[in-house]
Chains A and B, each alone.
Chain A
Amino acid sequence: MILNYSQPLEVTNLTSWLDSTLRGSLSEFWVLLIEFVIVGALLLAAYAVIALILIYAERKITAFFQARFGPNRVGKWGLLQSVADMIKILLKEIVKINRSDRFLFFAAPFFMIVASMLTFGAIPFGKALHAIDFNIGVLYVTAVSSLGIIGVLLAGWSSNNKYSMIGAMRSGAQFVSYELSAGFALMTIVVLAGTMQFSTMIEGQRYCWNIFNGHISSMIAFVIYLISGHAETNRGPFDLPEAESELTAGYHTEYSGLQFGFYYLAEYLNMFIIASIATTVFLGGYLPIQVKGWVDFNGIMDYIPSYVWFFGKTAVLIFLSLWVRWSFPRLRIDQLLNLEWKYLLPINLVNIVLMVILVLTGLTLTDLLPGIF
């Protein structure tokens, strides 16, 4: 409870208050039900809001990289640009395609959006802002996020369009390869942290983030995770499935209106999810920067609410990903697979072994310098 006094901006206060009030008047079942509904609704809202903010941020940051201003006529500084886009997309006609596989065509966008939603639920946004805390959280996230590829493949298959087909096939090859690397990179940290549960993993990073704890090995894993995460989200330089200059719009060429809106949102959400997993696993999640022994400093850092830390760290990673995206040309499919199978995967395998050695021989930072970390 002392903790709560020092962190007045934390949501924990709100949730525990809500929980106790509800419990005061209702039975266990109703309390849970109401809480579930609230959590679900909040997640959905957060989902939409985050996507809108990300779309706006990307357009703006891109513009700044490209020596221009970006949206600035809708609302102050163009802040309402993506809201306008959403209103339009919602009301846009959904074109029905002749000679397409109707059911699959209709279902594909939902796979995409459901996959990212499911992952979304397992991410710890802050203290007490964590919908599901599995003991195998890392595994769950890896498994569920790879559902999205089904949406892509189905879209490409059912559209009855050759461009979509090529885009989907590229995407399939790309996703399967990079999922390996991403998984391995996370496993490296699981070896270090000794847990798959996000909450435990975060608590373990109070004074030393995983990226520093495993030094060389963690750093490599971090870089590899960023690269392969970037590739999984189909964003440049890995945006082959929707390579604009080659395949018009890739797998979602035939989608219009809201269905396209799903893909559009999911793309940004996936970017967010990758960044937030990286934050959680490598950068201490929602924990503030803390140094052992510096009580005052820690107190000040603690004063900043946990969700601010989380979103701040995620934002940095997203910015990094945008920076990369807007700096490089697109890879070709064989180069892409080369990068994965010739560079990332072997490095990754060696890296896991290295991490195991580090952990077993006590060469991690926490073991080496227990006084500081």
Chain B
Amino acid sequence: MELKNVNIKGIPTAEFNDNEYLENYIKELEANGVNVVLSKIDELINWGRSNSVWPLIYATSCCGIEFMATAAAHHDIARFGMEVTRNSPRQADLMIVAGTMVHKMAPLIKRVYDQMAEPKYVVAMGACAISGGPFINSYHVVPGVDQIIPVDVYIPGCPPRPESLFYGLMQLQRKIKVEQFLGNKQR
């Protein structure tokens, strides 16, 4: 698996941010060694998974509205096959954390994350979810959702515009595409 084989329609690989992370990730995975046949099947599986990311919207504030705008006609998240927002964590693949996380909410988001079925991914959308954003100095705010659950992609913005969200989701698709389902125990 090489990074240049990971294609996303519309944007050339070289123009994506943070390619080093993926390269390192691939190297790490390949250290485990996977034979060719399995890797072909893996590609098919990853193709399916990356193109069918059903999100669970963990929206607490403003970014949730921006997600709604993304889902609506003007930007249409359905083009990526992601309009199937599942409100039940059991059926979702991706948790989009959109908004501030506070102390009172922390156990709940952890619980919802635990309820999700593997494979599961988390996207931190907006400054609040990434770092606490404007409220970083507050007594009741968790400084970033990555303190509670592992985050795969960070989408900065306050709130990120729909195109930024799409970009972040495409980054996630890239990450899913380099994963190995067979022959690798991690995830």
Contacts and interface: CB of A to CB of B under 8 A. Distances in A.
Does a CB–CB distance below 8 Å link A and B in the complex? yes
Interface of A: 59, 63, 66-74, 78, 80-81, 83-89, 91-95, 244, 248-249, 252-257, 260
A84 to B, nearest CB: 4
Nearest to A81: B81
B78 interface: yes
B90 A256 contact: yes
A59 B86 contact: no
Contacts of B73: 66-68
Contact of A255 (B47, B79, B90, B93): B90
A85 B155 CA distance: 25
B49 interface: yes
Interface in B17-70: 44-45, 47-49, 51-52
Contact of A63 (B52, B76, B84, B87): B76
A72 B72 CA distance: 15
25 contacts: A63-B78, A67-B73, A68-B72, A68-B73, A70-B79, A71-B79, A71-B81, A72-B79, A73-B81, A78-B81, A81-B52, A83-B48, A84-B49, A84-B51, A85-B48, A86-B48, A87-B49, A87-B52, A88-B93, A89-B52, A92-B119, A95-B90, A248-B87, A249-B86, A256-B90
Contact of B117 (A73, A74, A80, A92): A92
Interface size of B as a range: 20 to 34
A71 B54 CA distance: 13
Contact of B90 (A63, A81, A254): A254
Given A66-B73, A248-B87, A92 B118 contact: yes
A71 B93 CA distance: 18
Contacts of B76: 63, 68-70
B13 interface: no
A257 B120 CA distance: 12
Contacts of A95: 90, 115, 117
A256 B91 contact: yes
Cβ-closest 6 pairs across A and B = A87-B48, A256-B90, A84-B51, A256-B117, A249-B88, A93-B117
Interface of B: 9, 44-45, 47-49, 51-52, 72-74, 76, 78-81, 83-84, 86-88, 90-91, 93, 115, 117-119, 181
B91 A249 contact: yes
Given A73-B79, A93-B117, A93-B118, A260 B90 contact: yes
Contacts of B52: 81, 84-85, 87-89
A249 B49 CA distance: 22
A122 to B, nearest CB: 31
A167 B86 CA distance: 16
A94 B118 CA distance: 8
Nearest to B47: A84
Given A91-B49, A249-B91, A252-B91, 9 more contacts: A73-B81, A78-B79, A83-B48, A85-B84, A86-B48, A87-B45, A93-B117, A252-B88, A253-B88
A90 B118 CA distance: 12
A91 B115 contact: no
A252 B52 CA distance: 19
A209 B91 CA distance: 43
Given A70-B78, A85-B52, A256-B90, A59 B83 contact: yes
A89 to B, nearest CB: 8
A91 B79 contact: no
Contacts of A59: 78, 83
Contacts of A81: 51-52, 81
User: Which of B44, B49, B88 has the most chain A CB atoms inside 10 A of its CB?
Assistant: B88
A55 to B, nearest CB: 10
